[in-house]
Structure 1
Amino acid sequence: FSKTGCAADTLAGDYLKGASIRQEYLETAILWAASAEGKTIEAYMAQHQNDPSAVILWNYFRSVIDWVQAIFPKKRKEMKGLPWGLFYNVHGKRTDLDPKKLELEIQRLMGDEDVTKKSGIYEYLLTGEEKKLSIRTFDRRDALAAYEKQGHKCPICGETFEFEQMHADHITPWSKGGKTTPENCQMLCRDCNLKKG
């Protein structure tokens, strides 16, 4: 784990941030393994400090990287530095992850200009949490135009609000193909926007 060109660097250098020579790869592997056992790094280290070798840690680390390479076989720069071990701990036993389908979805999301955090695509595909993608929000100009067009009223409750009391929202949600364009912008009061989910 700790030398330039070491096995961890060769195997997983495209997936890890940091430098093997500064033991950052080792630290990452220990963090992931500790998490898999539901322990802090300190507790994990205390339990394994007298182990004659790091074979258990190495085997776990290899399992993580093997899983990543099997599920997401096409390497991209956006994969570097993601918490792959933590993803593996939660999703490693799933049988519904089809690499071909995932790759098609990755390609689609990489090309979607509303997805502003491309590295979040992988976690989104594993969890379904849209917030991981940081979907582009409406700029102030588009929000103000929608506010004026609506006559300062929330289209859900019909009440009148100050601009600062309203949120720009997609009429057709991004998840259903809606884009972050002026035509797809509506202003909702905070309460209605929160209720909408």
Structure 2
Amino acid sequence: MKQAGQLSSTSNSSSSTATSSSSSSTTTKTVSAADKKEAEQMRTNIVQSDPDSWDSAALAQVPDSVIVAATKKSNDMGGNPGTTANMIAEQYPNIKKNGSSDSDMDDSANGLSASEAKNKLNSFEFYIKNKSHIELTGQEQTSDGWEFTYSFVGGSTGGVLVVNNDGKIADKTFSGIEGETGSWK
């Protein structure tokens, strides 16, 4: 209980410091308004990217400055909302919902569901070798299958694991450079 109170007072003093500095010049106010808008947009993008993994109410409690900083860092690495969310979750783990994102956001009968695609990763040598060091941070359905964003445990940059409906699996960097490839068929 005492620690929670200390954390709360620490974050309150940080936000009051930020408030007093932003009122000192009109330029800072404009940037703050832009930062607030960018933070709100990223909160929306994070929840929409994987609604089963990210808690919008908890994200709303994260300071705009943290969201903007994580967004910039993620963008510099070629990341996406899932990457940004995982960076934020390092400081604010409560933004992760308890239930993992095993939901199938796919309602088409033509391709793999998200959970089927995740299961196919178990036939990919790169994933098998690194499984204990990889954390899947996001998922997105593509026209060809699924892309799973990952990072290495400990905060190291990861990439994207691509599982196509045609049987191809690949590891890509955030900039799109393809690494190891394989097949699940």
Question: Does TM-score exceed 0.5, indicating one fold?
Answer: no
Higher strand share: 2
Structure (1 or 2) with the larger CA radius of gyration: 1
> Which TM-score applies when normalising by structure 1?
0.27
